[in-house]
Amino acid sequence: MDHWTKSYYEMRFRIDFLERKATSFQDLFVKVMSKAYPREFMASRPWGRSGDRKNDGYLPTERLLFQVYAPNELRSSETIKKVIEDFNGVLPHWEKYFRTWVFVHNTDELPPDVIKKIEELRSRHASIKIETWGLKRSLRDF
């Protein structure tokens, strides 16, 4: 792929990544992961009363479990609440199936209070690798 073509696709991805919100962002994430890992990635959607049990996608070969978050406006207090709720909520249902929990968000960077909360979770749950994937990580990997 030549430089101009690559630049165009990167720009389109950047726009989609940063502009999509809520379910639309999750749909983009599932589409990208399904193309990157066509035989492995397992998308999860809420199903009846059980919901998705805090699992928005799973990559079993890598033992990665994804939680996707794309609010209209990212606020520290709401994001911290979401991180805590989703991380604690995933453990009873999926802990034995994953080694890495990935918080996927639709921003370029996270606020310092959110980073601090994630570091606290890492300290308390040393057996689980906790990652955050935003725009920079996504551009690097895809």
In the block, which residue shows the tokens 């207090």? 77
How many whole angstroms separate alpha carbon 100 and alpha carbon 129?
4
State whether the Cα torsion 42-142-139-122 is positive or negative.
positive
pTM of the model: 0.88
Q: CA separation (Å) from 3 to 7, 56, 139?
A: 6, 33, 15
Q: What is the pLDDT of residues 12-69, one digit of tens each?
A: 888 888 888 998 999 999 999 999 899 999 998 777 666 678 899 999 999 999 999 9
Domain spans in the chain, listed from the N-terminal domain onward:
3-141
CATH number of 3-141: 3.40.91
